Homo-oligomer: A and B are copies of this chain.
Amino acid sequence: MTSPPDPAPDRLWAVIPAGGAGTRLWPLSRRASPKFLHDLTGSGRTLLQGTVDRLAPLVGDRVLVVTGDAHRQAVLHQLPGVAPADVVAEPSARDSMAAVGLAAALLERRDPDAVMGSFAADHVIGDEERFREVVAEAAAVARDGWLVTVGVAPTHPSTGFGYVRPGGPLAGTASRVDEFVEKPPLAVATRYVAEGLLWNAGMFVCRPSVMLDLLALSDPGFAAALRGIAADPGTLEGVWPTLPRIAVDHAVAEPAAAAGRVAVVPGSFGWDDVGDFASLLDIVGGDGDLTVLGDRGLVHGVDASGLVVPAGGRTVAVVGLDDVVVVDTGDALLVTTRARAQDVRRIVAALKEDGHDELT
């Protein structure tokens, strides 16, 4: 008798950068309580918990969360199964390269044969089974030394995401990546979709040393600094503020793609970054009636459609508005439309400008 194959790719670690203010989801998401700490979709689990849950069958307890100092206690509280030592606190927000790079440097020393995958703490996935199959395939490709990204098959020509252009085929469903491209205007997005480009969901799977060696090619000092912190964690506080603020995409993925070092595994599993309330409405409903996230008994609509979040515990009545977004919290109320959901950040900016930091 042979034992069944272990469904978990050998020594895959989930690196979960848990950051970002989510200003377009104000007033639910605040600096003090960013979106990954919220059960935005009404699933019963926060976005962070959902992220860990869906990766657990692949990684077991091999989870490393990198989050802001201010949120470490909340993260530990939400993830009782994760050891405190595996929740790393950034002294300040320095974009994704520092966060993911630090995780890579720590894992490079701790588990040199590992493969790591980085997955943002605030995305949602529809088909989790399919998602894990794709990640497992990406991990297998990464074992051979590639930086692997998961490319999401577009469901529409989104102008809100960057794209990945697949090149020559590799093993299985994987291909080389010819280039990463920025969020396009609609006409360009439409062409991208027609040409078979995939959404860049910001998921990167690789050996930790591959991540750091690629970084060293574009910024040797940055890679050395991260490895230095991993060798002597006592230097974190001093070194961290000197690290560049740059995304993994720009620091590593784009130059590595140009050098032919990046692979993509495509997947269709219902992915969204829950960027704004329009995106949230797409995820949870938007069937032409009022969609309620929370206590439906608090919401009364007459000729109304859109999204209502009655998180303030008060009765919310909507009369004669389609595609409206009403978000009620204890100290602040937002009224906007599905079409204008992106502009919610302008309110947050205005509140900061007016000295209302306590509301942002």
Question: CB within 8 Å of B: which residues of A?
Answer: 26-27, 300, 302-303, 312, 314-321, 324, 326, 328, 330-337, 339-340, 343-344, 346-347, 350-351, 354, 356, 359
Residues of B within 8 A of A300 (CB): 347, 350-351, 354
Q: A319-B344, A346-B302, A347-B319 are in contact. Are A324 and B335 (CB under 8 A)?
A: yes
**B347 and A335: CB pair below 8 A?**
no
Asked if residues A319 and B331 are in contact (CB atoms below 8 Å), the reply is no
Residues of the B chain whose Cβ atoms lie less than 8 Å from the Cβ of A351: 300, 315, 317
A315 and B359 contacting across the interface, CB-CB below 8 Å: yes
Listed from nearest, the 3 A-B pairs whose CB atoms lie closest are: A320-B340, A319-B336, A315-B332
Contact A314 B332 (CB under 8 A): yes
Write the nearest CB–CB distance from A344 to chain B, whole angstroms: 6
- The residue in chain B whose Cβ has the minimal distance to the Cβ of A349 is B302
CA distance A187 to B314 in the complex (A): 41
- Given A27-B317, A317-B333, A319-B343, 15 extra CB contacts under 8 A: A27-B315, A300-B347, A302-B347, A303-B343, A312-B333, A316-B335, A317-B335, A317-B336, A317-B347, A318-B336, A319-B335, A319-B347, A320-B336, A321-B324, A335-B335
On chain B, the residues within 8 Å of A359 by CB distance are: 315
Pair B317/A343 contact, Cβ less than 8 Å = no
Which listed residue (B321, B339, B343, B347) contacts A336, Cβ 8 A? B321
Q: Which of B27, B320, B333 interacts with A337 by CB under 8 Å?
A: B320
Candidate in A330, A339, A344 with the most chain B CB atoms within 10 angstroms: A344
Instruction: Given A302-B346, A315-B359, A340-B303, check contact A328 B333 (CB 8 Å).
Output: yes
Residues of B within 8 A of A336 (CB): 317-321
The answer to whether A343 and B328 have CB atoms under 8 Å apart is no
A to B CB contacts below 8 Å, 16 in the list: A27-B317, A300-B354, A302-B350, A303-B340, A312-B314, A314-B333, A315-B332, A315-B333, A317-B333, A317-B334, A319-B334, A319-B344, A319-B346, A320-B340, A321-B321, A321-B335
